[in-house]
Amino acid sequence: MKAIVTGGAGFIGSHLVDALIDRGDQVWVIDNLSTGKLENRNPKAKFIISDIRYHYLYDHFRHLSIDYIFHLAALPKIQYSFDHPKETNEVNIIGTLKIIEMAAKLNVKRLIYSSSSSIYGDQLTWPLREDMPVNPLNPYALQKFAAERYCQMLFPNSVCLRYFNVYGSRQSSSGSYSAVIGNFLSNHKKGAVSVIYGDGEQTRDFTWVGDVVRANILASESNKVGCGEVINIGGGKNYSVNQLKKMIGGLYHYQMARKGESRHTLADITKAKKLLGWEPYVSLEEGIAELKKLHGLT
């Protein structure tokens, strides 16, 4: 099979590229390295350093028979989207429109779009189901929802996977917008103090990156999807940030809660089980233990 992975030098995308290469696929990576890293590059993949908004991207593939596009490229941070709403809108919506246009021109079998559980916002009941009304609390969530709808309207042969707090190796661990687990592990290793925003009782459904990669591959293969379905990809169990702190260890202090973030997330993964035959294999406890080994913290 021939596949394009946008954002293929990033955290999740690079793991997906590795898995596709390992099973013998031909893979083209599109990444502008704004958040991706060259060190994540798989040498067996063809690498195109480019922004997904560029109109000439199609020219790289016009003479090829591409089977699938996995669209992971994004500016993915909630707080960053408040600080830079125009830039994130350009990448997350306009960029996605360009990829949809390319998918149509190439007549690919399926477009697998990486969406986000942040679309749900705060809800009154849990777990979060795909048929719930959305409640975006920040520009990033709104952009991801708009991109989902564009996929459904303009390229129906698509699948939208709503990820719940993905974590694992290669995750960003520095900067103002770094992900919580990567940040906590990095600070613990350095002996630095980590910040918990709010009281730490907010909960998240953390999902191992390898499980997310498997969901993408199943979404490309399943004969039960391909009509714009939205599917939750989550661990199916939530943990408070305070619980996470105890698992990782280290030094912490608390600051005021940040705007635009949901109080709780918890995925209903019934649809993933039914349509993809997918469920998570790696628990948070197992994943954290593995990452602590990688960081030399055990």
Domain boundaries, the chain: 2-164+208-234+267-281
CA dihedral 3, 163, 148, 171 (to 10 degrees): -60
Residues 33-86 have pLDDT tens digits of 999 999 999 999 999 999 999 988 999 999 999 999 999 999 988 999 999 999
Residue 188 in tokens:
């613990």
Residue 177 has pLDDT above 60, yes or no: no
Contact 223, 157 (CB under 8 A): no
Half-sphere exposure in the Cβ direction for 34 (13 Å, CA): 15
Q: What is the mean pLDDT of the chain?
A: 95
The answer to whether the pTM exceeds 0.85 is yes
Residue 223 has pLDDT above 80, yes or no: yes
As a whole number, mean pLDDT of residues 271-281 equals 98
b/e 59-84 (16+ beta carbons within 10 angstroms → b) = eebeeeebbbbbbbbbbbbbbbbeee
Which value, in Å, is the radius of gyration of the alpha carbons in the chain?
A: 18
Contact 171, 159 (CB under 8 A): no
Reply yes or no on domain 2-164+208-234+267-281 having CATH 3.40.50.720: yes
pLDDT of residue 298: 74
Query: Where in the sequence numbering do the catalytic residues fall?
Result: 140
pLDDT tier for residue 175 given thresholds of 50, 70 and 90? low
